[in-house]
């Protein structure tokens, strides 16, 4: 064997030629074995992480000494639509801000099984450039993501805004602006998508269109995390939900399961009744 070095698992082993001994070969074999074990362990970790795409463990957060989140713990599985359901001020946006590292928690841990570039985000503050038109807005982000500009028009088509592609953002209706923010969130085909009240204030037809798009994105492999205070939306769209009240998760699971647990006599899932039973307040 020629003199050389073998790099495995960040360990570099150098050896000199000694044809009478087969030690270097042994070392090489051991290193290969440890490398394979490490590789298999990494695959197992990635798999475990991927089964749970989004995790929060015992997150706490206060603003100015006022507790906003207390011990928030949940997991979102790969390729599911997970809904965080709660009234205004419950802490939904704060949870998204922490998960997407825009805000630090005071305690607990969280993780996402995707890189920032594999993550899409639509917040209630859309952050669009008001004087640029729709296409120009998306082109700015196509540049940031390093993806071809033709993706911008594709994304506009997905939210039915292609006819408004040359309209300046400051001339769009609220619903159109919201759809543009959604187009921007899905532009780079993220594997994890955060949608903060994606249909709030929209007419039923536009809301239905967005529901359909969310379902298609999930069918194409995305994991969707959405917030809402619309129970019908949660029942219709979400595989699993968490009910949030004053920064605490009071219940979580599949909507039908939750309703059965707390509301067995009803044949149609009624999350509003469950929420009132658990918290004493209405959702909307």
Ligand X SMILES: Nc1ncnc2c1ncn2[C@@H]1O[C@H](COP(=O)(O)OP(=O)(O)OP(=O)(O)O)[C@@H](O)[C@H]1O
Contacting positions for ligand X (CB under 6 A): 63, 68, 86, 88-94, 229
Q: Is residue 133 within the footprint of Mg ion (CB under 5 A)?
A: no
CB of 230 to ligand X, least distance (A): 11
Residue closer to ligand X, measured from CB, 24 or 83: 83
Task: Kindly tell me which of 86 and 198 has the beta carbon lying closer to ligand X.
Answer: 86
Q: In 3-state terms, what secondary structure has residue 146?
A: coil
Residue 199 touches Mg ion, criterion: CB under 5 A: no
Give how far Cα 23 sits from Cα of 3, 14, 108, 263, Å. 13, 12, 48, 70
Strand partners, 60: 107
Q: Which long-range contacts (CB under 8 A, 24 or more apart) does 279-283 make?
A: 279/243, 279/245, 279/246, 279/250, 281/87, 281/245, 282/87, 283/85, 283/86, 283/87, 283/229, 283/231
81 token code pair: 């639509």
Under the binding rule (CB under 5 A), the answer on residue 97 touching Mg ion is no
93 binds Mg ion (CB under 5 A): yes
The residues, any chain, with a CB within 8 Å of residue 243's CB and separated by 6 or more, are: 85, 86, 249, 250, 251, 252, 258, 271, 274, 275, 278, 279
Among ligand X, Mg ion, none, residue 223 binds (CB under 5-8 Å by kind): none
Which CB sits closer to ligand X, 69 or 138? Answer: 69
Residue 272 token pair = 């509003």
Least Å distance between CB 189 and Mg ion? 25
Of ligand X, Mg ion, none, which one sits near residue 94, judging by CB under 5 to 8 A according to partner kind?
A: ligand X
x/- string (CB under 5 A) for Mg ion, residues 63-92? -----------------------------x
Question: CB of residue 272 vs Mg ion: minimum separation in angstroms?
Answer: 19
How far apart, in whole angstroms, are the C-alpha atoms of residue 238 and residue 167?
Answer: 33
What CA–CA distance (Å, rounded) separates 260 from 77? 22
Give the residue with the Cβ less far from ligand X, 85 or 187.
Answer: 85
Please identify, using beta-carbon distances, which residue of 54 and 134 lies nearer to ligand X.
Answer: 54
Q: Does 137 bind Mg ion (CB under 5 A)?
A: no
Q: Which partner in Mg ion, ligand X, none is near 4 (CB below 5 to 8 A by kind)?
A: none
CB of 95 to ligand X, least distance (A): 7
Look up residue 182 and give its two tokens: 């959604």
Question: Between 103 and 254, whose beta carbon lies closer to Mg ion?
Answer: 103
Instruction: Return the H-helix or E-strand segment holding 141.
Output: helix 134-145
Q: Which residues bind Mg ion (CB under 5 A)?
A: 92-93
């Amino acid at each position: 064997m020629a003199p050389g070095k073998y790099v495995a698992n960040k360990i570099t082993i150098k050896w000199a030629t000694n044809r009478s001994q087969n030690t270097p070969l042994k070392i090489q074999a051991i290193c290969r074995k440890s490398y394979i074990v490490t590789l298999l362990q990494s695959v197992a970790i990635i798999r475990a992480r991927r089964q749970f795409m989004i995790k929060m463990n015992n997150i706490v957060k206060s603003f100015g000494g006022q507790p906003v989140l207390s011990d928030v713990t949940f997991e979102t599985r790969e390729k599911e639509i997970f809904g965080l359901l709660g009234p205004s001020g419950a802490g939904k946006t704060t949870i998204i801000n922490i998960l997407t590292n825009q805000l630090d928690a005071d305690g607990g841990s969280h993780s996402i099984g995707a890189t920032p570039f594999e993550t899409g985000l639509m917040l209630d503050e859309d952050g669009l450039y008001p004087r640029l038109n729709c296409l120009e807005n998306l082109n700015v982000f196509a540049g940031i993501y390093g993806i071809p500009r033709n993706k911008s028009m594709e994304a506009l088509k997905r939210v039915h805004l292609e006819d408004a592609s040359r309209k300046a953002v400051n001339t769009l209706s609220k619903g159109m602006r919201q759809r543009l923010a959604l187009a921007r969130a899905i532009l780079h085909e993220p594997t994890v998508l955060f949608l903060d009240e994606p249909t709030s204030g929209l007419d039923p037809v536009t809301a239905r269109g967005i529901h359909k798009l969310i379902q298609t994105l999930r069918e194409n492999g995305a994991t969707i995390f959405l917030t809402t205070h619309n129970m019908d939306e949660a029942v219709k769209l979400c595989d699993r939900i968490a009910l949030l009240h004053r920064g605490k998760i009071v219940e979580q699971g599949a909507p039908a399961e939750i309703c059965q647990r707390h509301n067995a006599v009803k044949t149609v899932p009624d999350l509003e009744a469950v929420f009132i039973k658990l918290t004493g307040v209405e959702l909307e």
